[in-house]
Amino acid sequence: MVTTTRLDCVLGSASTVRAALTQALHHATHRSAFGARLVDQPLMQNVLADVAVESEAATALAIRLAAAQDAGETDFLRLAGAAAKFHVCKRTPAVVAEALEVLGGNGYVEESVLPRLYRQSPLNSIWEGSGNVIALDVLRALERDSASVAAVLAEVEAAAGVDDRFDAAVARLQAELADPADLPLRARRIAGLLALCLQGSLLLQHAPGSVADAFCATRLGGDWGSVLGTLPAGTAVTEIVDRAVVAPA
């Protein structure tokens, strides 16, 4: 029951991020300012692309968990589900808030879909264990369930050698796991890094190069600000945004 509930939380948060991104993309595509559509303005492209990368990473991890649930991969789910629940659900409010800002004041009034998404966005991080509870459960799985650790690390290492920034992040994760000092103090750090490495592996294996490169450069490589919309120069923002736009039926 706990595993399934955590999967529900991750799926719900990933879909909330995607719904918020869809609203932001639609507004930016149809709203013009300073002589051009918002979606064509460089800074807005940076914001939208950054939210799109977050959405794709959350979705990739959620789908991998769902596939594991269907396949009965209980060892993988024990640890990966907890780490994903911690990271994806906790990221969701900040990402939805950024999408809301794309609409400006229109994103805050009740006629927009975004106020409802924003109100709901913290729920999954609280449900079935708040951040501290889930982070400590990640430690519990790491300490007591070697089969779970092996299954998750096998998924992470499936992308070994593809990207130097990813390999460096995996090395940091392994160093964190090998260090027995102050584990409860570092529980959130470990849970978050584990989820990021899983997301990086999945994107390197399955996502377009532009998305995987942006993720590795920012979430793993450290070339990123403290807020969304700070992707480094040279990121294929137009390609990422175009991929995220829903084509009309």
Question: C-alpha 164: how far from its chain's center?
Answer: 20
Q: Which of 54, 56, 128, 155 is catalytic?
A: 128
- Residue 137 identity (one-letter amino acid): D
Query: Which residues does 231 contact at the CB level (< 8 Å), separation at least 6?
Result: 46, 49, 50, 53, 214, 217, 218, 224, 237
What 8-state DSSP symbol labels residue 219?
A: I
Query: Which residues does 95 contact at the CB level (< 8 Å), separation at least 6?
Result: 17, 20, 51, 54, 55, 228
Smallest CA-to-CA distance from 29 within 173, 244, 249, 174 is with 244
d(CA 235, CA 125): 30
Residue 128 annotated among the catalytic residues of the structure: yes
d(CA 58, CA 54): 6
Give the residue numbers marked as catalytic.
128
